[in-house]
Structure formats: C-alpha cells, structure tokens
A and B are shown apart, each in its own frame.
Chain A
Amino acid sequence: MSDLPPKSSIRRWFLTTNHKDIGILYLVTALFFLVFGGLLAMLFRVELLTPAADFLGESGYNQAVSTHGLLMVFWFISPFAFGFANYIVPLQIGADDLAFPRLNALSYWLYLFSGILFGISFFQGVTFPGGWTMYAPLNTPAYMPGEALGATSVVLAMIMFVAAVTLGSVNFLTTMYRMRAEGLRMRDIPMFSLSINLTVWMMLFAFAALLAALIILSSDHIIGTNYFTYQIDGDTFATNVNNPGSSMLWAHLFWFFGHPEVYIVFFPALGVMAECFQTFTGRRLVGRKWFIISMVLVALQSFIVWMHHMFLTGINLEIKTLFMATTIGISLPFDLMVFSLIYTMIKGRVRYMTPFLFSLGALLLFILGGITGVFLGAVVLDYQFRGTYWVVAHFHYVMVAGATALFGGLYYWYPKMTGKMYNEFLGKVHFAVYFIGFNLLYFPMFIAWETPRRVFNYPVELTVWHNLSTVGAIILGGSFLIMFYNLFVSYFRGAEVGDQPWEFATSAEWAVASPPPLENFDGVPSYASGTLEFLSPSDVAKRQSGHSGAAADGGTAETSPATDGAGAEAGALATTETALATGAGTAEPTGHEHASHASFWPFMISLGGFLLFLGLSGIRTGSMLYTSLALVGGILGFGSLVGMAQEPFFAPETAIAERWPFADVEKMKLGMWTFLASDIVLFGAFIGSYAFIRFAYGWEAWHHDLIPEAHVTFPGLVNTYLLLTSSFAVVLAMVAAEKESRAGVMASLGATFALGVGFLINKGIEWQHLFHIHTEAFPEGWAITTNLASSTFYLTTGLHAAHVIIGLIIAGYMFFRSWNGAYLGDEKPIEYFGLYWHLVDIVWLFLFPLFYIL
C-alpha cells in the first residue's frame, strides 16, 4: 500500500482507488470517447452529403459506421453514466467508498486500456467493418479484407471492456447491499442510485452473454474455431452440410445481450432525470413507488424481448407473437414513468437551470423515441422498418435522449465535483444549440426512413433530408465546444459553491462539502431517526452495544465491528474471461487505523492485459513482435496480479449499515456470489451455443459425421472422478482450518491441488491423442479447426480448463500460505475459494454428458 499523493500530482491519478477520483477519470475518459465516436460520425455524415462513396470510400464508410456505433454504445455512454455512479452512489447511500476499491480502479484501467486497444485497431490495416451488431459470419476473418487483425483487436478490446463491466457490477452490487447508511432501505435510496442498482443487475447477466459471444468470436479469429464460420474455404464441413447455425447463433447471443443493453444505457439517464426533476421542480417524484416497480419490471422483462430484433429471421408465428407481446408489454411501464415525471412538475417551482433543461429535453426526445418504438413493436410495420433509417432514428431518439439526460447530470453534479459553479448562461446556450442540432440531425431520418441502414448511396430524392441531418450533426457536435469551454473555464473562474447549490435537493451528496473530503462524511451517516444525521464515534459505539434499529422491509441494521473484513479486498483477478475476486489472497492482520486509498497494481494489471491482448490480436501471423508482446503482457499481468494479492490493503466496512437482504453474507462472499452468477451465465451461453449449432447441423448427424471413434468416454469419466474428489478435499480443508490443524489444511489443499493437476494432465493426454489420430475420416487428426464438433469440444472444455487453471493458481497460493500457518481458525478464504471450485466442478458435471455421452 502506498500513500495517496495530492490531486495536483500526476501520480495520484495512477494510484488512486478512491471512488470520487475514479469517477472523474471515468467521466473524462468517456468524454474523450464521445469526441472520438463523434468525429467518426462527422466523417460519415460528410460522406452522406452525396449519395456515393466519394469521401471515405466503401470500406472506410463501413469502418466509420461500425466503430462509431461500438464506441458510443460501449465506450461512451455507459462509462459516462458510471462516472457519475462512481462518484455519486457511495455519497448517496452513505458509504465512504465502494466495497472493493482496488477492483474499482482495476475496472477503470481495464476500460481505459480496452479503449486504447480499440484505437490501435485503426492502425492495423482495417478496423472492424461489420456493424456494431457484428452479424455472423461477416464478423469472421474469412469475410474481411486483409489479415483482419484490426477486427480481432476490436473483439479483444470488447472482451477487456466486458471484464471491466463485470468487475464493476460485482463491486456496485456488493456496495449497495452491504454499505447503505443505517435506516436506508433499498427502496429508499435516491433514484439515481436505484437506477444504477438495476442497471448493474442487468449488466451482470447481459454482459456475461456478450462475453460468451465475444470469447467464441475471438477464438474463431485467433485459434480458428468454426462457430461463426459458415463454410471452410468454400467447402462444407462434412458431406453436404455447412454450419447452418452460424448466423442465428450470433443473432441470439448478441440480442440476448443487446436488448437489456438498451436499458442498461437508458436507466442511469432515467435516474438522473428523476433527480433533476425533483430538485428543479421542488416536488417529490409523483408515484415514486410505481416508478420503482416499473423499473424493476422492465429490468426483468428486458431479458425476454430480444427476438424483436429478429422478426425477419423466419422464427415461427407463435414465437413472434410472444415477443411482440413482451415488447409491447415492456413499453407500458415506460409510459408510467414518463407520466410520473410530467406530473412531478405540477405545483412545482420549476427553475430552468441547465440540468433541468437537459432533463426536460431528454424527456421530450424520449417520448418521441418511445412512440416510434411502438411502431416497431407492431410486427407488420417492423417488417418494413427493419434495416432502415426508421430504426436508426428510433434508437437515436431513445439512446441519445439518454445521453441528453446524462449531460444534464454533468451540469447537475459539476458544482459538487469541482466546488465551482458553471456558467449558467453558457449552459443554456449549450442546451439550445444541442436541442436544435439533435432534432435537425435525427428528425429528418424519420422522413428519409426508406433509406436502408449503413449505405452511402441512398435514393437521390432523399438528398435534402440527409443534408439537413449532416447540418444538424455539425450543430450538435459544435454545441459541445460550448460545454467544454464552459466547464473548463468555470473550473478556474467559476463561483465557489457551498454544500448544497441546488435548493430542494434531498440526497446525501448535498450534505457534504463540494468537493467532498476523501472519506466523504464526518461521522457515520444514518437515517435511523427518519432524516439524515451524522453519528459521532460515541453514538456509533452506543448503537453497536444496544440493539440495532429495525427497518420496515424486514431489514435490520446489522452491526459489525469496524475491523470486519479487514483487508478482505484481497483479490486475485481478472484476466480475459474470468474476473475472479477471491479471498484467497491476503487476509492481512488488522491493526491499520486508516483505510487505504492507493494501489499501483490495478494499472499494472491492466497494462499487462492490454499488451497481452494486443499481442494476441496478431499472434496468428506468427510475427515475433506480436508474440513477444503477448508474452511480456502475460507475464506483467500475472506478476501484477500476484503483486496485488500480496499487497496489504485495508478497506473497512462501515460499522453500522443497512444490509438487507444480505446482512448475513459478508462482503467477500457476496462479491463472490455475484461474480459466480455471471460465470454461470457465461457457461450457460457456451453450452447453449453448442446445443444450438449442433441442433442446426443435425443432432445425430453431428455425432456420426464429425466425431472420431477415438473420442471415448473414459478420460472424461476419470476427470469427473478427479474433480469431485477435489471438491471434497476443499471441504476437508475448511474443516481442518476450523479445527486449527495446520497439517490438515495443508494436506487437504495439497490434495485439491494434486487432483486438479491430475485433471489437467489427463485432459492433456486425451487432447494430444485426439489431435494426432489418423483415420480415414480424419486423416489429419481431430484438431481444434477440424470441424464444428471439435471446435465446440475444445473451446468449451478449454474454457472450463482455464477455470481449473485459475483455481489451481489460487489453490497453490493458498497452499503456500497455509504452510506459514494461515487460515487456522479463519476458514473464510478457503470457503470463498471453495465456492468457486465447486462451481467449476458443477459445470463439469454438465459438460461431461454433453460432450462425452450424448
């Protein structure tokens, strides 16, 4: 642990794990990607001045459109919202930081480096040209110009981004369920925090599905599996059959993620709107309870509407009807939310400050976006709108409406973050120009809706509308110059503000200084009395000894000693797909008085990951440069992970907090649970993918055509036995730790480790054998690239093996620590590891029958 330098020092920004610093980093970085994505949009809007590819060229146009979409959806809008979430959520719920501050820093650095990797893709020949929806098989190298290394980088960058998101989701969920101020029930947390809570729930599952899709896609790119390939070099995979499942598999995986993603993008904006409406009208949100219920419904239902993006793929009428119904159903809660916002103004004292103008503007835009969405929900209309500018206009009206609200949020919290007030006049000018530019840009798209998406040679008679759009784009883009100027100059010259610059604001971030001190609150925030108070240490002590206040929704303010979970933010972490937080690391003895706020490892891990991925993007060319980058990155990343696990880091849990419904699940365990929940979705998506393409190919024919005789059950059976035994050994280790038997702990952990290694060796032998068989059907062995069955077999069980390897690294590390007498009487870290290991075990129980027996 190092000390945190002052804000003026550059070093601080590399070291910090403080949520407010990281919030600022997110905001600045996200705005950078807004400009990046925005400039790309300018480029293709200029291209669209005339209906021909006379500016960017054909390939350039496709690249610009695709990367614009990816950058805006992934690298701008959500991270922008998470900038606020980082800064504001802990303040709003009364926490002094996130539950796992170093993981939070790691999320940020992974995000930043993923964006840099994306940027590099532009210099690797051609970047990804296949649209932000990345439909298969156009997303595979076979259909890309050149070596397609740039496209591979983009896919890898997205994986890195998803790792960041997953860590962030785990972190926010743990924080919100374990660190709320006393007396603050889940339903009482301010609307912005609530929207973030629901957003991260959706993220946890939706992004896991995307991760599966991306891992598979990158493996198609890098090691040559064939999930998304339709044919191999124009040849079929076996007699007369191609891979008929390729396109649809991608579509399902992508949209299963993609629809929740649109709410993931929009929810934080709704939260900001709710906050700003309340503050600037001086009214409490009308029907708050129903508003919340609506949001919960939408969050749940968002996972069962994805096929409305696939109405033309030939799915049958029953399914279409079902998805039409769910789609329309999900639009109804939004009606309620819209009306709730509108009615909140009634009897208000509406003040047209910039944040309110942006929120009101966002609401108006969203109403239009929602109405045009209902058009799309009517399947007969959707048939014609599909693939046209109607869709483009619709989703910009909703998504960019979301962004509009978030810009409102930027003005709203700017004084809190900087302690200075922005210039109100310039803010209003920004809004006016923005709003005009927005509508001039997107409204003509409805009129020119007959234009197919992603083409540059639209019908000539629509030229005028497209030109209006381009003018609008320039105005919209230009409006940001006003904003950047305003925010920059105000930082130095703006009027100083006090704690609460906005009359009628209620949430706790306005009860602390602007900007808030490093650890947020003097005293422990509590709502036990019905309003916010800050308790002195003696109050806290009194409360801890007495019985704790109960909350009506069955939640109890659980008390726990301040040293609880000391240093528990130990973490072995995240490489590509497994962002693994485990208590296996340092449960550092307590004794630190102060919470830690600085660590260099998150940066180093991400740098390592970045180099590794950059190397991987080109490793298939066999180039020395790429190979060594991958090696260096891998070593650096791994070393830094170990470094982070070794580093003493103290992240105390608040002494008294509202922890319903997870009062009995300590921080590390809750983090582990949420992480494993996303891991289950990941494996679920892998298994689903296998079943899907096998079914499309022909379930029986698959076995007959694609799998060699030599692929027998026996090695799998042995491995099942090995894994089950090893899970049992972990349980023994826990028991031994409880009984404080060092020998017992060492023996059991050693056994776990040995059995795991046995599993891998057995698998290695099996694979070697299969790689090198010579039969009539498989003269060149049954390698990863041979056919569909081999691809699914090696990749799915390989992903599982990677989980085993990570588990073994942790088990090995723990073995050494137990040598030194760790864990005696403190079996918690073993328990966390056990949770992970049992899951890996259970997954195998699914894989074994699927890949060896059926």
Chain B
Amino acid sequence: MLRHTVIQNVPIAHAGGVRTPAAVFNEIFTVFLGLGTLVGIVVCAYTVYNAYAYRDTGEESKADADRPELGELPTGGGGGKKLFLSFGISAIIVLSLIVWTYSTLLYIETGPDSQQVQENALEINVEGYQFGWQFEYPNGQTTSGTLRVPQNEMVMLNVTSRDVFHNFGSPELRFKTDAIPGQSTKTWFVGQQAGTYEAKCYELCGTGHSYMNATVEVMPRDDYQQWYNGSESE
C-alpha cells in the first residue's frame, strides 16, 4: 500500500487548523486535574474533619446508648439516605466526565473531520526493534532513529515490532501506541510547530529499553519536500 506520489502531486490539504491530539489531551487533562483536585481536597478534608469532630473527648453523648456490643449480630447501621446522596453526586461527576470525554475519544479514534486532510495523510510504517525504531515512508525509503514529517500535515503511523512488545509514543506530540510483533496498530498526529521532538519506548523491552528513543523532526513543507525527493533517489 505504498503511495509513491503522495507529497508531490496532490493539492495541499492543510492540517494546520485541526485539533491535534496534544490539544485534546491538554484540555481534558486540565479539566480532570481541576475537578480531581477539588473532589480530592473536599473528600479528604471532610474525612479528616469527621475524624476530628467525633474524637473521643471522654464526655458522654447521646449516641452512647447505642454502641456496638461484643457478640452482637450486625445490623444495618442506618444513614442510608446520606450515603446514597453522596454516592449519587460522585456517580454523576464521574459519569458526566466520562461521557464528555467519549466524544473526544471518537475524534482521536477516527481522526480529523476533514475528508481531505484524512485522505492526504502521510502514512508511515514504524517498526520497533531491540533497541530502536525504523520508519518507512510511502516512497519506500527508510530511516532509523529519526522520523521526519512535514509541518501541518496529518501523519498516520502504522506501528509494529519485529521482535518483542514495545510502545511508540511522544510526550509532546501526544501520540502513543503499542508496537506488537505480528500485529499493527495505528495512531496519528499533526506537527503544527516545526522543530525536533522526542519519541520514546513506553513498554519494557529489554536491557536497552531506557535508551530506546527516537526523534521526530517536524519540517517546514518545502524543506520536507526537498528532503523527501532527494532521499528517494539515494
């Protein structure tokens, strides 16, 4: 399925405007972090407050009439309403968060809405091995260690492995997928800023795992074109 013509002849489908996976992640993460921190603080504070408020002061209290006794059979313990109220609230928070993220999951799974952007996506085959990464471009050429992609273009990665289980991901560009021998998985991203990014292996794969990095070079279109055409004739 190599498409040799890719870059040269098709009209440019600019993906500079699409929501990148990185943007999606940052947005959701921020909301989760905000809400999570809030809920965490409230619940923990309330817990500690109760532990403090009902500390044993040695004074008698009304509730003392009904303390548990040795050898009794357990009974309900009451308080069901309150329990369900707080349970209900937490369930609503969790469920709405998840439902909200679900649409973005669909987006990440299917890619940008623009048909054109999708059709013109640059497909690159990535193969992990102990301990490095090899990239194969539509024109058949391969590079090792450095993945070169054009700026503002959707890049579709088909990731696999030649030996053991690896995982190919980039912390800045926010793509990540397992590299499984005998299987192939997909992920996509758009580099909207030219520059050099890191990619790493995220699954323990042997002694060289910690070093199994690659760089992702996001290049301005013209530079990319030049490199791409030039390398073909090599």
Chain A residues near B (Cβ < 8 Å): 53, 58-59, 61-62, 65, 129-131, 135-138, 143, 145, 183-184, 188, 190, 230, 242-248, 278, 281-290, 312-314, 317, 320-321, 324, 328, 331-332, 335-336, 338-340, 342-352, 360, 363-364, 367-368, 371-372, 374-375, 377-381, 383-384, 386-388, 450, 452-457, 500, 504-506, 508, 510-511, 527, 530-533, 696
Contact between B73 and A530, CB atoms less than 8 A apart: yes
State the CA gap A378–B100 with chains docked (Å). 10
B108: chain A residues at CB < 8 Å are 380, 383
Contact between A360 and B64, CB atoms less than 8 A apart: no
A190: chain B residues at CB < 8 Å are 74
Most chain B CB atoms below 10 A, which of A346, A380, A505: A380
Contact between A143 and B164, CB atoms less than 8 A apart: yes
A505: chain B residues at CB < 8 Å are 68, 70
Contact between B36 and A387, CB atoms less than 8 A apart: no
Given contacts A317-B109, A375-B32, contact A452 B182 (CB under 8 A): no
State the CA gap A352–B50 with chains docked (Å). 12
25 A-B interface contacts by CB (under 8 A): A62-B206, A137-B181, A143-B163, A143-B206, A145-B207, A188-B74, A230-B182, A287-B77, A312-B185, A314-B184, A314-B185, A317-B109, A335-B86, A338-B43, A342-B46, A342-B50, A350-B50, A351-B55, A352-B55, A371-B39, A374-B94, A383-B108, A387-B203, A504-B68, A527-B73
Q: Mark B57-81, 1 if CB is under 8 A from A, else 0.
A: 0000101100111111111111110
Given contacts A188-B73, A313-B185, A364-B47, contact A384 B109 (CB under 8 A): no
Contact between A287 and B80, CB atoms less than 8 A apart: yes
B176: chain A residues at CB < 8 Å are 312, 383-384, 386-387
Given contacts A135-B204, A345-B54, A504-B68, contact A328 B95 (CB under 8 A): yes
State the CA gap A511–B72 with chains docked (Å). 11
Given contacts A339-B83, A350-B54, contact A289 B180 (CB under 8 A): no
A338: chain B residues at CB < 8 Å are 43
Contact between A138 and B165, CB atoms less than 8 A apart: yes
Of B25, B70, B211, which is within 8 A of A511 by CB? B70
Q: Does B113 contact A (CB under 8 A)?
A: no
Q: How many A-B residue pairs have CB under 8 A?
A: 281
B79: chain A residues at CB < 8 Å are 286-287, 343, 346
Given contacts A312-B176, A346-B54, contact A328 B94 (CB under 8 A): yes
State the CA gap A215–B56 with chains docked (Å). 54
State the CA gap A347–B64 with chains docked (Å). 9
A284: chain B residues at CB < 8 Å are 68, 74-78
B200: chain A residues at CB < 8 Å are 452
Given contacts A283-B68, A343-B83, A363-B47, contact A375 B36 (CB under 8 A): yes
B116: chain A residues at CB < 8 Å are none
A289: chain B residues at CB < 8 Å are 76
Query: Chain B's nearest CB lies how many Å from the CB of A472?
Result: 19
Given contacts A284-B77, A286-B79, contact A378 B98 (CB under 8 A): yes
The 8 A-B residue pairs with the shortest CB-CB distance in the complex, in nearest-first order: A244-B182, A387-B202, A532-B71, A314-B185, A284-B77, A286-B79, A455-B210, A345-B50
A287: chain B residues at CB < 8 Å are 76-77, 79-80, 83
Given contacts A312-B185, A367-B40, contact A454 B204 (CB under 8 A): yes
Given contacts A364-B47, A454-B204, contact A379 B101 (CB under 8 A): yes
Q: Does B141 contact A (CB under 8 A)?
A: no
Contact between B210 and A456, CB atoms less than 8 A apart: yes
A336: chain B residues at CB < 8 Å are 83, 87
Contact between A339 and B55, CB atoms less than 8 A apart: no
Contact between B205 and A138, CB atoms less than 8 A apart: yes
**B80's closest neighbor in chain A, by CB?**
A287
Contact between B91 and A332, CB atoms less than 8 A apart: yes
Of B54, B61, B74, B87, which is within 8 A of A339 by CB? B87
Q: Does B178 contact A (CB under 8 A)?
A: yes
B29: chain A residues at CB < 8 Å are 381, 384
**A457's closest neighbor in chain B, by CB?**
B210
State the CA gap A324–B48 with chains docked (Å). 32
Contact between B78 and A312, CB atoms less than 8 A apart: no
Query: Chain A's nearest CB lies how many Å from the CB of B12?
Result: 29
Q: Mark B94-113, 1 if CB is under 8 A from A, else 0.
A: 11011001101110110000
Q: Does B208 contact A (CB under 8 A)?
A: yes
A321: chain B residues at CB < 8 Å are 102, 105
User: Which bucket holds chain B's interface residue count?
Assistant: 35 or more
State the CA gap A348–B54 with chains docked (Å). 5
**A388's closest neighbor in chain B, by CB?**
B202
Given contacts A131-B204, A367-B40, contact A314 B32 (CB under 8 A): no
Contact between B70 and A500, CB atoms less than 8 A apart: yes
Contact between B77 and A285, CB atoms less than 8 A apart: yes
Of B71, B84, B90, B185, which is within 8 A of A506 by CB? B71
Stretch of B3-11, B142-150, B166-174, B222-230 contacting A (4+ beta carbons < 8 Å): B166-174
Contact between A346 and B40, CB atoms less than 8 A apart: no
State the CA gap A505–B180 with chains docked (Å). 54
State the CA gap A320–B109 with chains docked (Å). 11
Most chain B CB atoms below 10 A, which of A137, A375, A452: A452
Contact between B94 and A342, CB atoms less than 8 A apart: no
Contact between B77 and A135, CB atoms less than 8 A apart: no
Contact between A278 and B109, CB atoms less than 8 A apart: no
Contact between A457 and B72, CB atoms less than 8 A apart: no
Further 10 A-B residue pairs, CB within 8 A, beyond A287-B83, A343-B50, A384-B176: A143-B164, A143-B206, A145-B207, A230-B181, A313-B185, A324-B102, A324-B105, A339-B87, A379-B101, A532-B71
Query: Chain B's nearest CB lies how many Å from the CB of A281?
Result: 7
Contact between A511 and B91, CB atoms less than 8 A apart: no
Query: Chain A's nearest CB lies how many Å from the CB of B174?
Result: 6
**B77's closest neighbor in chain A, by CB?**
A284
State the CA gap A505–B73 with chains docked (Å). 12
Contact between A247 and B182, CB atoms less than 8 A apart: yes
Contact between B203 and A345, CB atoms less than 8 A apart: no
**A377's closest neighbor in chain B, by CB?**
B98
B36: chain A residues at CB < 8 Å are 371-372, 374-375
State the CA gap A143–B130 with chains docked (Å). 10
Contact between A339 and B86, CB atoms less than 8 A apart: yes
State the CA gap A456–B209 with chains docked (Å). 9
Contact between B40 and A371, CB atoms less than 8 A apart: yes
Query: Chain B's nearest CB lies how many Å from the CB of A103?
Result: 30
**A281's closest neighbor in chain B, by CB?**
B54
State the CA gap A454–B205 with chains docked (Å). 10
B201: chain A residues at CB < 8 Å are 452
Query: Chain A's nearest CB lies how many Å from the CB of B114?
Result: 20
B102: chain A residues at CB < 8 Å are 321, 324
Query: Chain A's nearest CB lies how many Å from the CB of B209?
Result: 6
B209: chain A residues at CB < 8 Å are 62, 454-455
Of B64, B104, B183, which is within 8 A of A314 by CB? B183
Q: Does B221 contact A (CB under 8 A)?
A: no
Contact between B68 and A384, CB atoms less than 8 A apart: no
Query: Chain B's nearest CB lies how many Å from the CB of A278?
Result: 6
B25: chain A residues at CB < 8 Å are 380-381, 383-384
Given contacts A245-B182, A313-B178, contact A286 B70 (CB under 8 A): no
Q: Does B28 contact A (CB under 8 A)?
A: yes
Query: Chain B's nearest CB lies how many Å from the CB of A503?
Result: 8
Query: Chain B's nearest CB lies how many Å from the CB of A99?
Result: 23
State the CA gap A347–B70 with chains docked (Å). 19
State the CA gap A421–B34 with chains docked (Å). 45
Of A143, A314, A350, which is within 8 A of B180 by CB? A314
Query: Chain B's nearest CB lies how many Å from the CB of A660?
Result: 15
State the CA gap A387–B51 with chains docked (Å). 37
Q: Does B18 contact A (CB under 8 A)?
A: no
B104: chain A residues at CB < 8 Å are 380
A278: chain B residues at CB < 8 Å are 68
Most chain B CB atoms below 10 A, which of A312, A317, A367, A372: A312
State the CA gap A344–B205 with chains docked (Å). 47
State the CA gap A455–B212 with chains docked (Å). 10
**A131's closest neighbor in chain B, by CB?**
B204
State the CA gap A530–B83 with chains docked (Å). 27
